[in-house]
């Protein structure tokens, strides 16, 4: 029986490196996850390159994409360039697997900081499958998708597990189950975490993400909104559910802790971070382990022709992003008519949250 490897999502900031140094020195960080596309157009510091190369040489490096955007309705040169840069990165370093986020991030003139959800519609599913096949074809390793924290409605929450299963089935892909993303949905839509988790294809889970976040004041005085901001300790509720989740997933190979690098700039914050790491390590050590006979995520190739596109969906993605960016009245947004999106069913608090997220990442 094998136990999951415990690791960190690597950050390039000096504060982060200083905080994790004790863990590196005692060899507690068994695997590193690196968001490779955040440095596509930047030069890596020498120490960072050396650390990533070390984990790569030991088959302990995971790749996590941020900017590919699985559900962009148009196929553009931006995505072609992204895949070409990924191919070069995979020649330079050996990644055990490559993952991306569920949702769409980019439209023509906007670059949100977090992906926004799309509804489970046959045409949208085909776009996601097409983008995922192209990603799989670009690399020689298994490919997976991470569940999303942000949802506009309870319908988004309920259908995401099925959507993810159908998305990865053609390439025998796998899932990252981000428990803080589940925690956000649980808090924001008042659903039990385990009730949400059971809706996911747990047999496809190869990696688990853990992180903390923050609370946003309600715009309507109803409730606090939980945000996946990676800037605080792991909530106790997540640590309590982790042992059960490990036992529910047939093949959980990796557990990755995420924390933004610039949020570890005090001794107190570093102490809390190391304390969280030890708690997770203790949970994994107490776990009986898993059999790797039916590991998810073997690599499969598929033939495809022209990229799947949908110009109506593209127009709606662009329109929705602009509506949110321009801080339109929530009721005005809910009354807009779309073919794919159903804003009349969206939670007004979550529309407001999306507006704040987009403004944060697009201040001008």
Residue 79 has pLDDT above 60, yes or no: yes
Burial of 280 (0-12, 13-18, 19+ CB in 10 A): buried
Count of CB atoms within 10 A of residue 289's CB?
Answer: 12
CA distances (Å), origin 249, targets 82, 162, 242: 32, 16, 11
CA distances (Å), origin 245, targets 207, 210, 280, 364: 11, 12, 13, 42
Average pLDDT, stretch 20-37?
97
* Strand 104-106 versus strand 5-9 pairing type: unpaired
Tally of residues, the chain: 364
Q: Which CATH superfamily is domain 5-309 in?
A: Divalent-metal-dependent TIM barrel enzymes (3.20.20.150)
Confidence of residue 327 (pLDDT cuts 50, 70, 90): confident
Backbone angles phi, psi at 253, to 5 degrees: -85, -30
Top-ranked range on mean pLDDT: pick from 36-50, 98-112, 302-316? 36-50
With a CB cutoff of 8 Å and minimum separation 6, the contacts of 277 are 6, 23, 28, 257
- pLDDT of 107-138, one tens digit each? 555 444 568 999 999 999 999 999 999 999 99
- pLDDT of 339-360, one tens digit each? 999 999 999 999 999 998 887 7
| pLDDT score for 107 | 57
Cα radius of gyration (the chain): 20
């Amino acid at each position: 029986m094998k136990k999951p490897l415990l690791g960190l999502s690597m950050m390039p900031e000096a504060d982060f490196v200083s905080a994790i140094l004790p863990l590196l020195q005692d060899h507690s960080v068994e695997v590193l996850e690196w968001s490779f596309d955040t440095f596509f157009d930047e030069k890596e510091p020498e120490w960072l390159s050396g650390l990533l190369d070390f984990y790569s040489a030991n088959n302990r490096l995971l790749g996590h994409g941020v900017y590919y955007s699985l559900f962009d309705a148009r196929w553009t040169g931006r995505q072609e360039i992204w895949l070409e840069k990924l191919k070069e990165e995979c020649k330079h370093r050996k990644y055990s697997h490559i993952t991306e986020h569920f949702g769409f991030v980019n439209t023509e003139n906007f670059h949100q900081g977090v992906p926004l959800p799309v509804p489970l519609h046959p045409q949208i599913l085909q776009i996601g499958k097409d983008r995922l096949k192209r990603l799989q074809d670009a690399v020689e390793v298994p490919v997976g998708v991470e569940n999303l924290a942000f949802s506009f409605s309870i319908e988004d929450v309920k259908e995401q597990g099925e959507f993810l299963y159908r998305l990865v089935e053609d390439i025998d892909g796998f899932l990252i189950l981000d428990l803080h993303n589940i925690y956000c949905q649980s808090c924001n839509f008042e659903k039990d975490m385990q009730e949400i988790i059971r809706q996911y294809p747990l047999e496809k889970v190869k990696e688990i993400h853990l992180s903390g976040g923050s609370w946003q004041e309600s715009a309507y005085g109803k409730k606090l909104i939980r945000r996946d901001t990676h800037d605080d300790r792991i909530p106790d509720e997540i640590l309590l559910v982790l042992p059960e989740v490990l036992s529910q997933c047939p093949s959980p190979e990796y557990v990755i802790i995420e924390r933004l690098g610039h949020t570890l700039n005090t001794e107190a914050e570093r102490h809390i971070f190391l304390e969280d790491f030890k708690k997770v390590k203790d949970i994994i050590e107490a776990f009986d382990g898993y059999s790797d006979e039916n590991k998810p995520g073997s690599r499969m190739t598929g033939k495809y022709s022209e990229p799947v596109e949908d110009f109506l969906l593209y127009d709606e993605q662009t329109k929705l992003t602009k509506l949110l960016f321009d801080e339109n009245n929530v009721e005005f947004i809910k009354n807009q008519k779309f073919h794919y999106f159903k804003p009349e069913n969206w939670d007004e608090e979550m529309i407001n949250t999306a507006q704040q997220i987009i403004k944060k990442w697009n201040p001008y």
